[in-house]
């Protein structure tokens, strides 16, 4: 999975705006003609990702395992899946 394609999959998921909603960031390495332009703009706007700097997204490198887990967690709104102590709500913690 690559950063740009991962953003595209997430922006097409349930509760997301799809590939719509453009120009919210000034990323120098994501051109408006790129097929992943709108999904990347959405992901940055919704704080699913911040890119590699304030002006770069780096769409070509493969995603790390951490990114692959973090992106959907952020889309799902992490506050809704964890309790006050950061424990997942669907996991029983045994003493």
Which of the two residues, 30 and 6, has the higher pLDDT score?
A: 30
Taking the complete model, does pTM exceed 0.75, yes or no? Answer: no
Which tokens hold the place of 31? Answer: 């051109």
Give the orientation angle of helix 3-11 with respect to helix 65-75, to 10 degrees. Answer: 20
Question: How does pLDDT run across 42-81, given as a tens digit for each residue?
Answer: 888 888 888 899 899 999 999 899 888 888 888 877 656 6
What are residue 62's DSSP bridge partners?
2
pLDDT at 31: 93
Question: How does pLDDT run across 19-45, given as a tens digit for each residue?
Answer: 444 445 689 999 999 999 999 998 888
Give the orientation angle of helix 3-11 with respect to helix 37-45, to 10 degrees. Answer: 70
């Amino acid at each position: 999975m690559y950063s740009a394609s991962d953003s595209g999959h997430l922006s097409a998921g349930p509760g997301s705006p799809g590939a719509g909603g453009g120009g919210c960031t000034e990323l120098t390495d994501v051109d408006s003609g790129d097929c992943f332009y709108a999904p990347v703009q959405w992901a940055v706007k919704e704080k699913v990702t911040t890119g590699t700097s304030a002006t770069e997204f780096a769409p070509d490198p493969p995603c790390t395992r951490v990114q692959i887990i973090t992106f959907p967690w952020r889309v799902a709104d992490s506050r809704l899946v964890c309790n006050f102590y950061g424990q997942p709500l669907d996991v029983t913690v045994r003493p």
